[in-house]
Structure 1
């Protein structure tokens, strides 16, 4: 689906270059985060943003 976004490959390569983990995330990692949030393990979490982005968000880009 992302292939319809103009310049998506440039964006993906940029994230791979600057994210602390030096890669993009997988569908499995996003699914794992969603499963965690749907589980009782996250019962104390409210009103938060959970970034699943290989650390890109902390770079302040």
Structure 2
């Protein structure tokens, strides 16, 4: 499943736990004080492509 996701994501990689943590740290910091009501996707661009059928994996 991870290799399937990696091959389909626009950045051709899986997101690491530290990348998700970095985004959360940014949102909790003063640097993000002007950000409200936004969704921050940390998914290597996968949200713009949508997941294909799992049957394609087999």
Q: TM-score by structure 2 length?
A: 0.77
* Larger helix share, 1 or 2: 1
**Deviation per residue, 1:13-45 (Å, 9 max, x gap):** 221011111110111101100000000111111
Which 4+ residue blocks in structure 1 deviate beyond 6 angstroms?
A: none
Q: Gapped runs of 5+ residues in structure 1?
A: 1-9
Give the CA RMSD over aligned residues.
1.2
The alignment's TM-score, normalised by the length of structure 1, stands at: 0.73
Q: Residue 40 in 1 paired to residue 40 in 2?
A: no
